[in-house]
Amino acid sequence: MARILPNFLYLCVIVFAFLSALMIIDSFHECSSAELDATRELLKKYSHQVQFVKNERKTLIEKLETQRSVDGTKHNSWLPELPVIYLITPTHSRAEQKADITRMSHTLKLVPNIHWIVIEDSEQKSDMVSRLLEQTGLNYTHLNVLTPQKFKMASKDPNWLKPRGVLQRNAGLEWLRNHKNSPAKKGVLYFADDDNTYSLQIFEEMRFTQKASVWPVGLVGYLRYERPIVEKGQVVGWFTAWKPDRPFAIDMAGFAVNLQLVLKYPKAGFSNEVRRGYQESTFLSGLQLTLSDLEPKANMCSEVLVWHTRTEKSSMENEAKLMKKFGKASNPNIEV
């Protein structure tokens, strides 16, 4: 029966049977006034209990909402007394771009006082990136600058062959320098690529950088990590397998600099002309920094709080196969 009838009908039958039963029972005897009083008492008691449960529910909802707004001050919030972290993120169009930016934006939403400068390697700002940024609710600046063809990597080139993001990072620097007054005075600059993985802690490590702070980066340089070597609280060299004699043998994700320093040395930047692996050194030398200026973070550079993860390039080879077989592959109107 229960399987055949929809639940609602089943319920109706039960209610109807119950009411009929009540009517039959009722017809057998007249209520005494004592019985009526007792019933009244019972009803009163139940209505009290219902009221109690309702109040309980209200209190719980209120508690939950307060909790939410407490969390809200941690998420995506702005505390005027706290230095602002300016993130410069170059990005280029690829199949994995939306996934990478989405993931990164969700990390940043958990960090207070963020200003995200995103620079597309493109002739025009894309709708997709514009929309994504708008949706984050973060403070952001959206720029674009196209890398000239001669500096572009062919898709088969190993990813270290030509520097990436040079013009985009420079555009971000230029924005900071031209908006001297709109950025907060107290600030720190970090070059944060869109495919890395960031612990929330790394942002708090860098937030109070005096000049330049440094820390290890995981999964980089064909090693488990690269890191500054620290002796007696001072950076004295670099743990890396590749060109350890570079002035600053550190990955882009391994340092942050005080905003005032960036404004003080307006020529410091990146270049498509420098030797491979020297972008970081070029920028940091441009800020007139030396090893003794570096502030070791992440527990004296003994903890990895950022990873050079890189997103695997997705194969789309079945798209062509479907096209060949059915003359039709995936719907191009569905954004990925």
Ligand X SMILES: *[C@@H]1O[C@H](CO)[C@@H](O)[C@H](O)[C@H]1NC(C)=O
Q: Tell whether residue 78 is a contact of ligand X (CB under 6 A).
A: yes
Q: Select 137 or 244, whichever has its Cβ closest to ligand X.
A: 137
Burial of 126 (0-12, 13-18, 19+ CB in 10 A): middle
DSSP single-letter state for residue 252: G
Q: Tell whether residue 72 is a contact of ligand X (CB under 6 A).
A: no
> Considering the complex, what minimum distance in angstroms separates the CB of residue 109 from ligand X?
9
Q: Is 71 annotated as a binding residue?
A: no
Cα–Cα distance, 95 to 97 (Å, whole number): 6
Q: Tell whether residue 76 is a contact of ligand X (CB under 6 A).
A: yes
Q: For residue 301, give the nearest of 291, 310, 287, 286 by alpha carbon.
A: 291
Contacts of 282 (CB under 8 A, 6+ apart): 269, 270, 271, 274
| Residue number with the smallest Cβ distance to ligand X | 78
Selected range binding ligand X among 4-12, 132-140, 170-178, 229-237, rule: CB under 6 A: 132-140
Q: Tell me, what amino acid is at 322?
A: L
Return the number of other C-beta atoms located less than 10 Å from residue 198's C-beta: 22
- Kind and range of the H or E run holding 257: strand 255-258
Q: Select 128 or 138, whichever has its Cβ closest to ligand X.
A: 138
Q: Select 51 or 135, whichever has its Cβ closest to ligand X.
A: 135
Question: Measured at the alpha carbon of residue 108, what is the angle toward residues 145 and 298, in degrees to the nearest 5?
Answer: 105
Binding mask 134-153 toward ligand X (x if CB under 6 A, else -) reads ---xxx--------------
Contact by Cβ (8 Å): 254, 277: no
Contacts of 240 (CB under 8 A, 6+ apart): 221, 223, 226, 249, 250
Contact by Cβ (8 Å): 163, 90: no
Q: Select 110 or 300, whichever has its Cβ closest to ligand X.
A: 110
> Considering the complex, what minimum distance in angstroms separates the CB of residue 291 from ligand X?
34
Q: Select 72 or 244, whichever has its Cβ closest to ligand X.
A: 72
Q: Pinpoint the alpha helices (H) of 75-126.
A: 97-108
By annotation, the residues acting in catalysis are 280
Return the number of other C-beta atoms located less than 10 Å from residue 296's C-beta: 21
> Considering the complex, what minimum distance in angstroms separates the CB of residue 282 from ligand X?
31
> Considering the complex, what minimum distance in angstroms separates the CB of residue 78 from ligand X?
3
List, as residue ranges, the binding site: 195
Q: Which residues belong to the annotated binding site for Mn(2+)?
A: 195
State the residues that interact with ligand X by CB under 6 A.
76, 78, 137-139
